[in-house]
Homo-oligomer: A and B are copies of this chain.
Amino acid sequence: MNRVIPADNGHFGPAPGLEIWFDFGSNYSYLSVLRIEEAARATGVNVEWRPFLLGPVFRDLGWSTSPLLAHDAKARYVWRDMERQAARHNLPWTRPSRFPRSSVLPARVALIGADQWWAGDFCRRVMRQNFVEDRDIDSPEPVSEALEGLGLDSARILAEANSADVKARLQARTEEAQRRGVFGAPTFFCGPEMFWGNDRLDEAMEWAAAST
């Protein structure tokens, strides 16, 4: 899926890639998922979508829920920080009435679409359902709506999403995240170089742009 762009040496080569590992339930992932393709276009970097599930990662780290909620002071801070960060990036924001939301079905669909033309659009639509429209994203109705809004065959894609193959692939993807040292989301990789958090998106993008 790499586009071919001119490299600095005058030869043509694959565009540099930046992987974004994210969970649709993660609020800081929301900011990065909405921002990343615009940033990538400006720098000629290829976005590589890596949906995974934070739940098993957190459980293996000994956390029963998001570490953002483990202490009242931190939770209060994070919700205020989200208001400010969304405003800084000119993004709409509604604090979800349930957090963190389960995100298994949209993650499976995003896995199917990761290499398709609709990956970015689909991911942004689901993120807006969770963090702007305050809707429960882990059910067929909102996911179908997001797919149909893109002119896609939602019945076919949802059937594939519920296949044993896609379930296994999402589990393997989550295990890959753990092997590579992911402990939160969003996380960006440019080759072995790892960047954690929406606060590192710009730096990760610069790193990728310089890694042709």
Contact = CB atoms under 8 A, between A and B. Distances in A.
Contacts of A181: 73, 76-77
A71 interface: yes
A203 interface: yes
Interface residues of A, number: 20
A200 B182 CA distance: 23
B84 A203 contact: yes
Given A88-B203, A181-B76, A196 B81 contact: yes
A42 interface: no
Nearest to A71: B61
Contacts of A199: 197, 199
Interface string A176-204: 00000111000000000011110110010
Contacts of A169: none
Given A84-B203, A88-B203, A199-B199, A194 B77 contact: yes
Q: Select the residue from A80, A183, A203 with max chain B CB neighbours within 10 A.
A: A183
Nearest to A80: B194
A183 B74 contact: yes
Contacts of A196: 77, 81
A77 B203 contact: no
9 contacts: A61-B71, A71-B183, A76-B181, A77-B196, A80-B194, A81-B195, A81-B200, A88-B203, A199-B199
Given A73-B181, A73-B182, A77-B181, 16 more contacts: A61-B71, A71-B183, A73-B183, A74-B183, A76-B181, A77-B183, A77-B194, A77-B196, A80-B194, A81-B195, A81-B196, A81-B200, A84-B203, A88-B203, A197-B199, A199-B199
Interface of A: 61, 71, 73-74, 76-77, 80-81, 84, 88, 181-183, 194-197, 199-200, 203
